[in-house]
Amino acid sequence: MTTRIPAAAEGSFPLPRDPVPQPAPALSTLPGHFRAHWQTLSVPERAQLLAGWDTRELPLIEEDPQGDPAVRAVTFLYRNPLATAVILSANAMVHPDTVSACEFEALPDGVWALTWRMPADWESSYRITVHTGALPAPWQSADDRRAVRLAADAGGPDPRNPALGTGMAGAPTSVLRLPDAPSAGWLATPTPAAESGASIMGEPARPRLSGRRNAGVPGVPTAPRQVLGNFVRGLELRQVRDRQSGQLRTLWLYRPRVSGGRRTPLVLLHDGQVWAKYQNLPATLDRAVADGVLPPIHVAMIDSVDVPTRSRELSGPKGGVDFVARDLLPELRQALPVTQDPLQTVVSGASYGGLAALWQLARYPQAAGTALAQSPSLWRYDLAEPLLAVQEPLRVRIQAGRYEPSIHEPAGRLNTVLAGSGVDTAFRSITGGHDWAWWHPWLIRGLSDLFSGQ
For residue 143, what pLDDT is reported?
84
Query: Does 64 have pLDDT greater than 80?
Result: yes
Contact by Cβ (8 Å): 126, 90? yes
Rank 4-8, 40-44, 448-452 by mean pLDDT and report only the highest: 448-452
First to last CA, the chain: 31
For residue 2, what pLDDT is reported?
45
Query: Does 197 have pLDDT greater than 90?
Result: no
CATH superfamily for 31-215 is Immunoglobulins (2.60.40.10)
Phi first, then psi, for residue 198 (nearest 5°) are: -75, 160
For residue 388, what pLDDT is reported?
96
Query: Does 212 have pLDDT greater than 70?
Result: no
DSSP 340: -
Q: Which of 84-98, 99-113, 204-218 has the lowest mean pLDDT?
A: 204-218
For residue 233, what pLDDT is reported?
64
For residue 9, what pLDDT is reported?
56
Confidence of residue 5 (pLDDT cuts 50, 70, 90): low
Where does residue 374 rank: exposed (0-12), middle (13-18), buried (19+ CB within 10 A)? buried
Q: Where in the chain is CATH 2.60.40.10?
A: 31-215
Length of the chain: 454
Query: Does 10 have pLDDT greater than 70?
Result: no
For residue 51, what pLDDT is reported?
75
Query: Does 56 have pLDDT greater than 90?
Result: no
Label the pairing between strands 236-241 and 227-228. unpaired
List the one residue out of 193, 279, 190 whose CA is nearest residue 228: 193
Q: Which of 51-60, 167-176, 404-413 has the lowest mean pLDDT?
A: 51-60
Contact by Cβ (8 Å): 65, 73? yes
Label the pairing between strands 266-269 and 345-350. parallel
More confident position, 383 or 234: 383
Give how far Cα 16 sits from Cα of 19, 43, 71, 214, 378, Å: 10, 61, 38, 39, 10
For residue 54, what pLDDT is reported?
57
The DSSP-derived string for 82-97 is: TEEEEEEEETTT--TT
CA distance 62 to 90: 19
**Stretch 278-289: mean pLDDT, rounded?**
95
CA distance 115 to 31: 7
For residue 245, what pLDDT is reported?
84
Contacts of 197 (CB under 8 A, 6+ apart): 128, 155, 156, 157, 158, 159, 172, 205, 207
Confidence of residue 454 (pLDDT cuts 50, 70, 90): low
**Stretch 429-434: mean pLDDT, rounded?**
98
Query: Does 202 have pLDDT greater than 90?
Result: no
CA distance 445 to 442: 5
CA distance 324 to 2: 13
CA distance 272 to 409: 27
What letter represents residue 359's amino acid?
W
- Largest Cα–Cα distance of the chain, in whole Å? 78
Confidence of residue 228 (pLDDT cuts 50, 70, 90): low
Sign of CA dihedral 337, 340, 344, 348: positive
Q: Where in the chain is CATH 3.40.50.1820?
A: 10-20+226-451
**Stretch 232-258: mean pLDDT, rounded?**
88
Query: Does 277 have pLDDT greater than 60?
Result: yes
List the CATH code of the domain at 10-20+226-451: 3.40.50.1820
Query: Does 186 have pLDDT greater than 80?
Result: yes
Q: Which of 40-54, 126-140, 238-252 has the lowest mean pLDDT?
A: 40-54
Supply the mean pLDDT for the chain. 88
Sign of CA dihedral 214, 220, 222, 225: positive
For residue 348, what pLDDT is reported?
98
Query: Does 59 have pLDDT greater than 90?
Result: yes
Query: Does 453 have pLDDT greater than 70?
Result: no
For residue 104, what pLDDT is reported?
98
List the one residue out of 330, 279, 271 whose CA is nearest residue 305: 271
Query: Does 392 have pLDDT greater than 70?
Result: yes
